[in-house]
């Protein structure tokens, strides 16, 4: 998978910083122990002298194999002695070792010329940080989506319909691929559109795809900023590029932004370009098809209803139900 260059660089720097932090921590511990246990300081000096002796005798042309063997045995003996001293003085025996969290790559991020899983996980985490998911995200998952908020009256009842919508969303996230359709979630406020699209975004990200989640209002403000700002803000530029490049873009609350001919143009270009390059988009809107058509041009709405799978959300405003429950 190709990761954004900027994210890759950030993670690479993180590994370099962590290596420095580990080295510093280790050297602080060595100083501390040398002060408290002079015998260990002595043992370390002995190892350094052995190393000097070893390289000298190699340079003088003595038997390398035999020399390595002797050197190793001596070091093992001294190290065992050091561990004994550490334990005797109330330290753990690995107190002076570098603290490594990934035994696969020894925290280098790479091994055998390939990227370690720990490095990839950190990239995914970084992508998550850059995806602007709502802060409440971490509490939201398909498991916490409560169907009891939807009425079971009527045939089919909102609860039954929304149960099916939830299953569809779970399935979508689980099998997210080039073949996945674009989705248009529509219906009144507080019916779970943001919740379910967040759940999809999170799951898709966990699978290693890049995701950008943002309200329409914020997305178009960023494009405005890029257009009218002479000094282009690098992070804003990253986000607007991201909106085009990510595997999954979620535009929340379409229809609440301030619409100008420029934003309409950006919206069309964005959904059109993404459609042509096979990138997936999910759009949430409180507006129905007719209302959408009133505020956006026909070419936008026909694209939305032609190329997106429209999914209508049913029920009563959950936010209001939750608020009255908390009173």
Our measurement of the distance from residue 77's CA atom to the centroid of its chain's CA atoms, rounded to an integer in Å, reads: 46
- Calpha distance 275→296 (Å, rounded): 18
Q: Measure Cα distances from 97 to 14, 81, 83, 84 in Å.
A: 21, 15, 11, 14
What's the min distance (Å) between Cβ of 107 and Zn ion? 6
What's the min distance (Å) between Cβ of 11 and Zn ion? 12
What's the min distance (Å) between Cβ of 166 and Zn ion? 36
- Calpha distance 144→275 (Å, rounded): 32
Q: Binding marks (x or -) toward Zn ion, 163..202, rule CB under 5 A?
A: ----------------------------------------
The nearer residue to Zn ion, 124 or 250, going by C-beta atoms, is 124
The nearer residue to Zn ion, 110 or 275, going by C-beta atoms, is 110
**What number of CA atoms fall less than 13 Å from residue 183's CA on the CB side?**
27
78-137 positions binding Zn ion, by CB under 5 A: 102, 104-105, 116, 118
What's the min distance (Å) between Cβ of 109 and Zn ion? 6
Q: Tell me how crowded residue 321 is: count the other CB atoms within 10 A of its CB.
A: 15
What's the min distance (Å) between Cβ of 266 and Zn ion? 40
3-state DSSP helix/strand/coil % of the chain, to nearest 5? 60, 10, 30
The nearer residue to Zn ion, 118 or 318, going by C-beta atoms, is 118
| 172 burial type by CB count under 10 A (0-12 exposed, 13-18 middle, 19+ buried) | buried
The nearer residue to Zn ion, 118 or 168, going by C-beta atoms, is 118
Our measurement of the distance from residue 49's CA atom to the centroid of its chain's CA atoms, rounded to an integer in Å, reads: 48
Q: Which residues contact 152 (CB under 8 A, 6 or more apart)?
A: 158, 159, 160
- Calpha distance 100→306 (Å, rounded): 53
**Binding-site size, Zn ion (CB under 5 A):** 5
What's the min distance (Å) between Cβ of 118 and Zn ion? 3
Residues linked to residue 115 through DSSP beta bridges, in sequence order: 110
The nearer residue to Zn ion, 23 or 88, going by C-beta atoms, is 23
Tracing tokens 């002797």 back to the chain, one arrives at: 70
The nearer residue to Zn ion, 118 or 147, going by C-beta atoms, is 118
> Which among 287, 294, 284, 288 has a CA at the least distance from the CA of 264?
294
Q: Interface with Zn ion includes 250 (CB under 5 A)? A: no
What's the min distance (Å) between Cβ of 304 and Zn ion? 43
- Binding-site ranges for Zn ion (CB under 5 A): 102, 104-105, 116, 118
């Amino acid at each position: 998978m190709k990761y954004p260059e900027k994210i890759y660089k950030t993670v690479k720097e993180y590994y370099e910083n962590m290596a420095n932090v580990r080295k510093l921590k280790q050297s602080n511990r060595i100083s501390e122990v040398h002060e408290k246990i002079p015998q260990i300081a002595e043992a370390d000096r002995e190892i350094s002298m052995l190393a000097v002796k070893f390289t000298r005798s190699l340079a003088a042309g003595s038997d390398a194999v035999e020399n390595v063997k002797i050197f190793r045995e001596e070091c093992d003996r001294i190290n065992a002695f050091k561990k004994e001293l550490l334990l005797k003085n109330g330290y753990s025996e690995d107190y002076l070792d570098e603290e490594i969290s990934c035994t696969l790559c020894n925290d280098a991020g790479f091994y055998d010329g390939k990227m370690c899983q720990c490095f990839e996980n950190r990239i995914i985490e970084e992508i998550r940080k850059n995806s602007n998911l709502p802060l409440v995200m971490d509490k939201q998952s398909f498991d916490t989506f409560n169907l009891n908020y939807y009425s079971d009256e009527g045939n089919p009842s909102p609860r039954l319909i929304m149960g099916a919508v939830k299953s569809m969303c779970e399935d979508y996230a689980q099998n997210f691929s080039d073949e996945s359709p674009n989705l248009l979630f529509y219906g009144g406020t507080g019916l779970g559109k943001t919740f379910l699209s967040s759940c999809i975004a999170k799951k898709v990200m966990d699978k290693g795809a890049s995701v950008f989640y943002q309200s329409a209002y914020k997305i178009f403000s960023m494009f405005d900023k890029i257009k009218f700002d002479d000094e282009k803000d690098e992070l804003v530029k990253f986000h607007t590029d991201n909106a085009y490049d990510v595997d999954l873009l979620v535009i929340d609350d379409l229809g609440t932004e301030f619409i100008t001919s420029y934003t309409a143009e950006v919206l069309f270009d964005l959904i059109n370009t993404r459609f042509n390059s096979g990138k997936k988009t999910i759009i949430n809107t409180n507006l129905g098809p007719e209302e959408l058509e009133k505020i956006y041009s026909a070419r936008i709405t026909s694209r939305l209803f032609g190329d997106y799978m429209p999914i209508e959300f049913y029920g009563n405003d959950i936010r209001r139900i939750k608020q009255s429950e908390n009173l």
